[in-house]
A and B are shown apart, each in its own frame.
Chain A
């Protein structure tokens, strides 16, 4: 029997008198009778090896904050890590809205109880649609990598083909995630081929692309900007080649760039995707990732989305906005394994947050933030490349990340970064292991949160370390 002296602030009916009264209504005295359908041999016996409960809220806070205080964070330490999770400015209104209990604790309820939630999510999709200049957007993928994987699978369904071509410069975790969705039982469901590339620029080798493209190719994937930061400057031509062979042109992009960078559809993409973590969501140790997919309004594409789509519809009251689940049978809620792919709870709170972010920034804000990022990153790259023994790995233009090569310094990235850490700096992601052909290289990320003085501090520190 539970210890009668314990109280449970979150469990109202644990109160002895209430519990007894409810049991009595059921004609019972021992609550364990309620579990009579669980056979004896399947019951857990004994006591679980769990710690004694932390009884009060204050002690709990002390305990957990004590653990979190052991971490260092990007508020105290100058951070150049990115690689799919970049440090961006989060407007206070974003935190205000996603902290509201109504939205935080809502779930899958429909529009009569949760009209506001549906409108917020519809507005998110609408903002993303403007940013991407496409008509249909889903924001319920677990992260940008899954968005790429699902976009590729959509392409195989649209074309009825089974081969996809992907760049060699994908980050290894993205590639691992894609592979998990393309593998099959025995034979692969989708054949993934890696495109050749030019090590000097990072760009896709167009002749290799031309060789591999055939009537079996469902999609060509391009990241723009790429995992390694550079723009795929041949994107227009790649898209043309893909479409000539009847393949979908899938482009993964960074939404925070789209005030200054053309949306993928402008250079031929038929499916755009990516991760909207940059739009008003904190780092959270990677807990703020969230993927999107966009296409135009052609029903051939719309019917291939796997997650819920929220549509604006009229109500019986003239002039009133209502919402509904559009084409619900597409989803596994509607038709189990016959659906396109499984769906489930994903990231709606982040979608609402990104909607707030885009509303706050507006067209001018998006243009300005894109420009600030490019100016700061170019400034940082220029300063770093001027250091002895340091050069940029690619001459190709980039957005917020760039690869810095330290080969000529004769030093290992790990060693350099250990020294930077002592100066209170997280150096960029060490990509030497992931891409051996890059030598001793690191991927540096510089965004609008970086000030000139921060970059100067990095340069000073590097100067010391390298000399």
Chain B
């Protein structure tokens, strides 16, 4: 068997804005400002923490990385042999460098791409390789809304090591989220779903007593989809607004509908009625019909409304009615919230208050978990 290949990409400037209160590091001007404010790069240190679990593997794996601060320097520092791709000119690194590195690592058929950065870095990786190879994020940025990151840098290393040591590796799609940094700095939060990456099943929650039993939320997802489809069949005349995310995408796949990952699709009579609809279109569809909203919890933060699905506006929500909201998520995702409630931030405080309380989340076939909703 060939040695497993690990790709490593560090966004050296990730996280640089955080400590100096800049809410992100996207764009050259912010970067300059951060440097002026005395920010020091954190990403390499975070990546080093993750690699601690990998170093003992020695030459049992092959490491592929990008020159200088994007990986090669750190490998040298840790005494890890690595093969370095050709790229990176002078001057500060940019998103384009991350994308070039990720593409090269994909082309070299790496088994796993470990990147250190934040949501912006995740977006770059997503743009470059999508779900084509397994990817895992080492949290090193200011914004960590995406569900592609391990809980801590050390966990990322442990998950990566386990993944590389297995022969039958399992992945699941996970959402890449980001917020508009300009808006964020001005006090408005405007999050979007940008796509999905393919991440290793998280063994820290799942492996346990099975000792070698492969994990699998696949069963959970299948069960979730079956339950939602059953509920849709129970009211075939209803209009269904299906929100963004990988879980809801699986529902559309089961229905044989080619929907969007990022947008809100309208399904009526078992067919796609409006793809990637905007608020106005949604309002038209629900105006005089019995309607339902099917959404999932996007990203790692537990947002229900107001992040990545703003098309489902307060007006749409009021028209559909809070009793007609179906929420789906895997149990692992809910437990990953660590006891925090689900969030709503529709922009309509009165509506947010109505949505507060407890909601049933579909977590498997005919099984539900009760979750608290907060603002």
A/B: CB atoms within 8 Å of each other: yes
Interface of A with B (CB < 8 Å)? Answer: 110, 313, 324-329, 333-338
Q: Chain A residue with minimal CB distance to B207?
A: A328
Once the chains bind, are B219 and A329 in contact (CB under 8 Å)? yes
Chain A residues, Cβ within 8 Å of B364: 335, 337-338
CA distance A329 to B206 in the complex (A): 10
Chain A residues, Cβ within 8 Å of B213: 324-329, 334
B367 proximal to A (CB < 8 A): yes
Q: Chain A residue with minimal CB distance to B365?
A: A338
Instruction: Name the residue in A325, A335, A336 with the highest tally of chain B Cβ atoms < 10 Å from its Cβ.
Output: A335
- In chain B, positions 223-247 with a C-beta closer than 8 Å to chain A are 223
Give the Cβ gap from A336 to chain B, nearest Cβ, in Å. 8
Q: Chain A residue with minimal CB distance to B220?
A: A338
Once the chains bind, are A328 and B223 in contact (CB under 8 Å)? no
B323 proximal to A (CB < 8 A): no
Seed contacts A325-B211, A328-B213, A335-B219; 7 additional CB < 8 Å A-B pairs: A110-B211, A325-B212, A328-B211, A329-B215, A334-B210, A334-B213, A337-B366
Interface of B with A (CB < 8 Å)? Answer: 209-216, 219-220, 223, 364-367
Chain A residues, Cβ within 8 Å of B211: 110, 324-325, 328
Chain B residues, Cβ within 8 Å of A328: 209-211, 213
CA distance A324 to B219 in the complex (A): 21
CA distance A334 to B210 in the complex (A): 7
Chain B residues, Cβ within 8 Å of A327: 213-214
Q: Chain A residue with minimal CB distance to B219?
A: A338
Once the chains bind, are A338 and B214 in contact (CB under 8 Å)? no
CA distance A335 to B214 in the complex (A): 12
CA distance A363 to B213 in the complex (A): 34
Chain A residues, Cβ within 8 Å of B216: 329
Q: Chain B residue with minimal CB distance to A112?
A: B211
Once the chains bind, are B223 and A338 in contact (CB under 8 Å)? yes
Give the Cβ gap from A311 to chain B, nearest Cβ, in Å. 9
Q: What are 24 A-B interface contacts by the 8 Å CB criterion? A: A110-B211, A324-B211, A324-B212, A325-B210, A325-B211, A325-B212, A327-B213, A328-B210, A328-B213, A329-B213, A329-B215, A329-B216, A329-B219, A333-B209, A334-B210, A335-B219, A335-B220, A335-B364, A336-B367, A337-B364, A337-B366, A338-B220, A338-B223, A338-B365
Q: Chain B residue with minimal CB distance to A339?
A: B219
Give the Cβ gap from A1 to chain B, nearest Cβ, in Å. 40
Give the Cβ gap from A110 to chain B, nearest Cβ, in Å. 6
Give the Cβ gap from B291 to chain A, nearest Cβ, in Å. 27
Chain B residues, Cβ within 8 Å of A324: 211-213
Once the chains bind, are B367 and A338 in contact (CB under 8 Å)? yes
Chain B residues, Cβ within 8 Å of A334: 210, 213
CA distance A444 to B223 in the complex (A): 48
CA distance A335 to B365 in the complex (A): 11
Once the chains bind, are A337 and B367 in contact (CB under 8 Å)? yes
The 3 nearest A-B residue pairs measured at CB? A328-B213, A328-B210, A338-B364
CA distance A328 to B220 in the complex (A): 14
Chain A residues, Cβ within 8 Å of B210: 325, 328-329, 334
Give the Cβ gap from A455 to chain B, nearest Cβ, in Å. 52
Chain A residues, Cβ within 8 Å of B212: 313, 324-325
Give the Cβ gap from A322 to chain B, nearest Cβ, in Å. 10
Q: Chain B residue with minimal CB distance to A324?
A: B212
CA distance A110 to B213 in the complex (A): 13
Give the Cβ gap from B370 to chain A, nearest Cβ, in Å. 14
CA distance A327 to B365 in the complex (A): 19
Q: Chain B residue with minimal CB distance to A340?
A: B219
CA distance A33 to B200 in the complex (A): 47
CA distance A334 to B219 in the complex (A): 11
Chain B residues, Cβ within 8 Å of A329: 210, 213-216, 219
Q: Chain B residue with minimal CB distance to A111?
A: B211
Give the Cβ gap from B356 to chain A, nearest Cβ, in Å. 28
Give the Cβ gap from B205 to chain A, nearest Cβ, in Å. 12
CA distance A338 to B367 in the complex (A): 8
Give the Cβ gap from B254 to chain A, nearest Cβ, in Å. 14
Q: Chain B residue with minimal CB distance to A326?
A: B213
Q: Chain A residue with minimal CB distance to B215?
A: A329
Chain A residues, Cβ within 8 Å of B367: 336-338
Give the Cβ gap from A99 to chain B, nearest Cβ, in Å. 29
Give the Cβ gap from B59 to chain A, nearest Cβ, in Å. 18
CA distance A435 to B214 in the complex (A): 49
Instruction: Name the residue in B211, B212, B213, B215 with the highest tally of chain A Cβ atoms < 10 Å from its Cβ.
Output: B213
Chain A residues, Cβ within 8 Å of B220: 335, 338
Give the Cβ gap from B45 to chain A, nearest Cβ, in Å. 34
Give the Cβ gap from A451 to chain B, nearest Cβ, in Å. 50
Q: Chain A residue with minimal CB distance to B214?
A: A329
Give the Cβ gap from B330 to chain A, nearest Cβ, in Å. 10
CA distance A324 to B210 in the complex (A): 8
CA distance A467 to B73 in the complex (A): 104
Chain B residues, Cβ within 8 Å of A313: 212
CA distance A183 to B317 in the complex (A): 39
Chain B residues, Cβ within 8 Å of A326: 213
CA distance A334 to B214 in the complex (A): 10
Q: Chain A residue with minimal CB distance to B363?
A: A338
Chain B residues, Cβ within 8 Å of A337: 364, 366-367
Chain B residues, Cβ within 8 Å of A325: 210-213
Chain B residues, Cβ within 8 Å of A335: 219-220, 364
CA distance A170 to B223 in the complex (A): 34
CA distance A324 to B211 in the complex (A): 7
Give the Cβ gap from B303 to chain A, nearest Cβ, in Å. 25
Give the Cβ gap from B214 to chain A, nearest Cβ, in Å. 7
Give the Cβ gap from A320 to chain B, nearest Cβ, in Å. 16
